[in-house]
């Protein structure tokens, strides 16, 4: 720090930054990217371990043997579901009651902001049914949740069956210290959100639900189960929740430990881990897994019903049974044993899960990258913006100092006037800022508010109208610079664009820094694309190359590229047209996620990142 208060060294330092700016930036970008790609390799990852003492050392001996009963429940449930054409509320209530649970139901309704064409729903009405197993000699202060979505068609029947069989087995045991809630939620995430909001008596979104009668204190952990076949070959675990929140790593470790104990194959992101760690194919494999996790987390979408629990500080994972063409199959008994073991260990918890990591990336289930290891990759990228901003600032202050040196040799008044002229006050930056943010506000509000008007005037459906309006406004923003210049008459100078660029670089750095703290993946994806172009963009030089580059790194194109990358990674490549379809779908899903569950990705992009990008666009077309 003494470095800065010593004028000589300061001067040397600033000279260094000015002269070596471009190489430093390039170096920093490569370091950031290299660091990130290195995260999947062995030296960066730690072997995962159980931190929580209460779950680590205690042994449980699983005795669940009622796989057959689970299947018969599943068949019965499927029959009733078919008969009722939805969730068989009465049958579930009666069955759970006969198992000795306290049974409650919760009707809810939700009108979507615009129709969801993918799942074909608009006005959603449903009922959640849940039974509470009261722990003996406990005062209902803590509970665990086992939730199963009641999906349409033939999905998840086995999950309901297994849940009921587990409930009946759990009811006979005496060791429970926490209440266990067995929840069947309808309309997957909407039902889950309705249940969670009613349980915590808050109204975050606009779900309408009638009162909730049974509660069981503070929920400590939740497991969401999805199972659609009588036998499974492997278990897949989903961890990414709303806004990229992750459950405590101990819960994932617990799942992994019990899969290993029972000899079950378990995957993450659908990828089985490889045993050879130090080979190149293994590295590529774990890098793919890591990239998939980054893409999923960056999307901010809950990757299963568990994702909504995380807002309430409830650790949760979704466990999916996969039935593929492998030879070894596991029956319901083994699956039930795994879940039993997990619940018994969670039951042993004395405190909330807090010992292990909340911020991590998983290149495989056995290894993880902690926040301290992956953050530098992002830090290097942000460093570029800071370096570039420093560079601009020093150039600007040199211009400031310039006239003053001239002061001594004569005519004060003229020089002052010149300085005034060449130095557009900060006030001139207000119009572009305001206009860009107004565009952002339009992008945020207009599509949903104006959908009815759009459907009246154009032959499109509501959801198409919303998505197309989003794209139209987004593209219309590109015409902005010409409009802002009309407001900013006569200040097109060298200093003007430099000040604007300085401002937008700092703004971008702040935005990315903030979002990376909440959702590292989103921050990193945006940074890795936007930062280099933001650093080089200027109204001089190959303007059209810059324009193309800048368009290529706009968040919308990043989304498109991410979709392509995702499809490549899951080994399901798509054609350009399909990709475009997926893109449109992703936009509408992004909006729905925001309105239905309170995801912050859409407002963050629309209200902050897009205006910031428009500022850079303004810099490019500065006259």
Q: Which of 175/580 has CB closer to another protein?
A: 175
CB of 62 to another protein, least distance (A): 18
**C-alpha separations of 571 from 132, 269, 364, 567, 574 in Å:** 42, 12, 18, 6, 10
Which CA distances in Å does 236 have to 225, 241, 242? 10, 15, 18
Q: Residue 162: name the closest of 105, 83, 259, 231 by CA.
A: 231
Among 201, 405, 409, 571, which residue sits at the site for another protein (rule: CB under 8 A)? Answer: 201
Sheet containing 234-238: which strands, arranged edge to edge? 208-209, 102-116, 121-133, 179-186, 142-150, 218-226, 315-322, 234-238, 265-268
Nearer to another protein, 96 or 448 (CB): 96
Q: Residue 344: helix, strand or coil by DSSP?
A: helix
Residue 154 interacts with another protein (CB under 8 A): yes or no: no
Min. distance of Cβ 7 from another protein in angstroms?
5
Q: At what angle do helices 520-536 and 543-552 cross, to 10 degrees?
A: 170
Neighbours of 152 (CB within 10 A): 16
Rounded to an integer, what distance in angstroms lies between the CA atom of residue 304 and that of residue 84? 25
Can you point out the beta strands (E) in 215-359?
A: 218-226, 234-238, 265-268, 315-322
Integer Cα distance of 361 and 375 in angstroms: 11
* Nearest residue (CB) to another protein, 51 versus 229: 51
Binds another protein by CB under 8 A, chosen from 57, 59, 85, 139: 139
Shortest approach of another protein to residue 174 CB, angstroms? Answer: 7
Residue list 75-134, contact with another protein (CB under 8 A): 93-94, 97-98, 100, 102-103, 134
Q: Does residue 174 bind another protein (CB under 8 A)? A: yes
C-beta of residue 465 within 8 angstroms of C-beta of residue 510: no
**Under rule CB under 8 A, residue 483 binds another protein:** no
Residue 347 CB, nearest approach to another protein (Å)? 14
Closest to another protein by CB, 131 or 590: 131
- Phi/psi at 316 (nearest 5 deg)? -150, 145
Among 16, 18, 65, 202, binds another protein (CB under 8 A): 202
State the minimum distance, in angstroms, from the CB of residue 589 to another protein: 24
Question: What's the maximum distance between 2 C-alpha atoms anywhere in the chain?
Answer: 100
For residue 78, the number of C-alpha atoms closer than 13 Å in the C-beta half-sphere is 18
Nearer to another protein, 9 or 543 (CB): 9
Whole-number minimum distance, CB 571 to another protein, in Å? 39
Q: Does 315 bind another protein (CB under 8 A)?
A: no
Candidates 137-145, 449-457, 480-488, 493-501; binding stretch for another protein (CB under 8 A) = 137-145
As beta bridge partners, residue 221 has 144, 315
CB of 358 to another protein, least distance (A): 11
Across-strand partners of 226? 320
The secondary structure of residue 135, as a DSSP letter, is: P
**Angstrom distance (rounded) from CA 439 to CA 453:** 19
Judged by beta carbon, residue 309 or residue 497, the one nearer another protein is: 309
Q: Quick check: 200 binds another protein (CB under 8 A)?
A: yes
Q: Give the C-alpha separation, 217 to 199, whole Å.
A: 9
Closest by CA to 385, choosing from 393, 395, 373, is 393
List 31, 218, 472, 584, residue binding another protein (CB under 8 A) = 218
Q: Do residues 154 and 197 make contact, with C-beta atoms less than 8 angstroms apart?
A: no
The nearer residue to another protein, 354 or 540, going by C-beta atoms, is 354
Burial bucket for residue 576 (CB in 10 Å: 0-12, 13-18, 19+): exposed
Nearest approach in angstroms of CB 112 to another protein is 24
Say whether residue 136 binds another protein (CB under 8 A): yes
Secondary structure (DSSP) of 364-428? SSSEEEEHHHHHHHHHHHHHHHHHHHHHHHHHHHHHHHHHHHHHTTS-HHHHHHHHHHHS--GGG
560 to each of 299, 527, 530, 564, 580, how far by Cα in Å? Answer: 12, 16, 14, 6, 8
Candidate residues 75, 119, 171, 274; the one interacting with another protein per rule CB under 8 A: 171
Exactly one of 271, 296, 311, 320 binds another protein (CB under 8 A); that residue is 311
When asked if residue 138 is in the footprint of another protein (CB under 8 A), the reply is yes
Query: Per rule CB under 8 A, is residue 31 in the interface with another protein?
Result: no
Q: Which two tokens stand for residue 208?
A: 């309408």
Binding segment for another protein (CB under 8 A), chosen from 138-146, 271-279, 377-385, 490-498, is 138-146
Residue 394 contacts another protein per CB under 8 A: no
Output 59 or 174, the one with its CB closest to another protein. 174
Q: How far is the CB of 246 from another protein (least distance, A)?
A: 17
| Contacting residue, 137, 408, 486, 541, with another protein by CB under 8 A | 137
Q: By C-beta, is 213 or 548 nearer to another protein?
A: 213
Q: How far is the CB of 596 from another protein (least distance, A)?
A: 17
**Residue with smaller CB distance to another protein, 214 or 321:** 214
Closest contact distance (angstroms) between CB of 306 and another protein is: 16
Position 371 contacts another protein (CB under 8 A): no
Residue corresponding to tokens 């990228």: 381
The three-state (H, E, C) secondary structure of 429-464, written as one string = HHHHHHHHHHHHHHHHHHHHHCHHHHHHHCCCCHHH
Q: Does 8 interact with another protein (rule: CB under 8 A)? A: yes
Of 291, 506, 36, the closest CA to residue 514 belongs to 506
Given 22, 58, 63, 141, the residue binding another protein (CB under 8 A): 141
Among 125, 215, 329, 495, binds another protein (CB under 8 A): 215
Check residue 272 and report its DSSP letter: P
117: three-class secondary structure by DSSP: coil
74 or 135: CB nearest another protein: 135
Least distance to another protein from the beta carbon of 284, Å? 36
Closer CB to another protein, residue 174 or residue 577? Answer: 174
CB of 419 to another protein, least distance (A): 20
Distance CA 521, CA 375 (A): 10
Question: Judged by CB under 8 A, which stretch of 251-259, 269-277, 347-355, 372-380 contacts another protein?
Answer: 347-355
List contacts with another protein (CB under 8 A): 1-2, 4-8, 10-11, 93-94, 97-98, 100, 102-103, 134, 136-142, 171-174, 200-202, 211, 213, 215, 217-218, 311-313, 350-352, 354-355
């Amino acid at each position: 720090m003494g470095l800065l208060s010593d004028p000589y060294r300061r001067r040397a330092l600033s000279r260094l930054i000015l002269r070596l700016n471009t190489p430093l930036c390039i170096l920093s970008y490569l370091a950031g990217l290299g660091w990130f790609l290195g995260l999947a390799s062995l030296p960066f990852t730690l072997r995962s371990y159980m931190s929580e003492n209460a779950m680590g050392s205690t042994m449980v001996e699983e005795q669940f043997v009622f796989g057959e009963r689970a299947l018969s429940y599943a068949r019965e449930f499927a029959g009733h579901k078919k008969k009722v054409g939805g969730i068989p509320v009465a049958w579930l209530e009666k069955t759970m009651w006969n198992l000795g649970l306290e049974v409650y139901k919760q009707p809810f309704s939700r009108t979507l902001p615009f129709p969801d064409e993918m799942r074909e729903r608009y006005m959603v009405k449903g009922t959640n049914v849940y039974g509470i197993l009261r722990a003996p000699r406990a005062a209902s202060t803590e509970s665990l949740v086992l939730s199963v979505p009641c999906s349409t068609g033939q999905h998840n029947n086995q999950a309901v069956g297994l849940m009921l069989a587990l409930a009946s087995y759990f009811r006979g045991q005496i060791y429970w210290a926490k209440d266990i809630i067995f929840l069947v939620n309808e309309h997957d995430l909407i039902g889950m959100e309705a249940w969670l909001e009613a349980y915590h008596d808050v109204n975050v979104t606009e779900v309408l639900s009638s009162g909730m009668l049974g509660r069981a204190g503070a929920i400590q952990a939740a497991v969401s189960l999805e199972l659609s076949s009588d036998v499974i070959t492997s278990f897949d675990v989903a961890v990414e929740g709303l806004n990229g929140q992750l459950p405590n790593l101990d819960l994932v470790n617990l799942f992994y430990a019990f899969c290993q104990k029972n000899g079950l194959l378990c995957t993450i992101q659908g990828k089985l881990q490889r045993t050879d760690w130090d080979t190149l194919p293994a590295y590529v494999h774990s890098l793919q897994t890591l990239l998939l996790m980054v893409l999923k987390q960056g999307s901010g979408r809950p990757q299963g019903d568990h994702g909504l629990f995380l807002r309430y500080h409830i650790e949760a994972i979704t466990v999916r049974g996969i039935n593929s063409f492998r030879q070894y199959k596991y029956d319901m008994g083994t699956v039930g044993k795994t879940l039993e073991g997990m619940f018994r260990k969670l039951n042993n918890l004395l405190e909330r899960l807090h010992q292990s990591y909340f911020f991590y990336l998983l290149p495989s289930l056995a290894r993880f990258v902690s926040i301290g290891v992956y953050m530098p990759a992002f830090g290097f990228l942000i460093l570029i913006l800071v370096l570039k901003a420093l560079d601009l600032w020093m150039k600007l202050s040199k211009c400031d100092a310039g006239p003053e040196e001239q002061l001594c040799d004569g005519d004060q008044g003229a020089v002052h006037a010149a300085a005034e002229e060449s130095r557009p006050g900060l006030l001139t930056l207000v119009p572009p800022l305001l206009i860009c943010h107004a565009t952002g506000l339009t992008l945020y509000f207009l599509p949903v508010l104006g959908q009815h008007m759009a459907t009246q005037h154009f032959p499109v459906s509501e959801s198409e109208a919303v998505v197309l309006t989003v794209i139209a406004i987004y593209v219309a923003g590109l015409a902005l610079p010409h409009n802002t210049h009309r407001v900013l008459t006569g200040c097109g100078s060298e200093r003007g664009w430099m000040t604007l660029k300085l401002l937008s670089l700092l703004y971008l750095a702040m935005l990315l820094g903030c979002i990376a703290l909440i959702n590292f993946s989103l921050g990193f994806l945006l940074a890795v694309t936007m930062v280099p172009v933001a650093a080089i963009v200027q109204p001089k030089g190959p303007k059209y190359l810059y324009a193309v580059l800048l368009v290529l790194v706009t968040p919308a194109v990043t989304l498109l590229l991410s979709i392509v990358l995702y499809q490549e990674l899951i080994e399901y490549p798509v054609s350009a047209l399909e990709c475009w379809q997926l893109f449109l779908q992703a936009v509408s899903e992004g909006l729905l996620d925001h309105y239905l569950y309170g995801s912050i990705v859409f407002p963050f992009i629309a209200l902050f990142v897009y205006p910031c990008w428009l500022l850079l666009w303004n810099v490019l077309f500065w006259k």
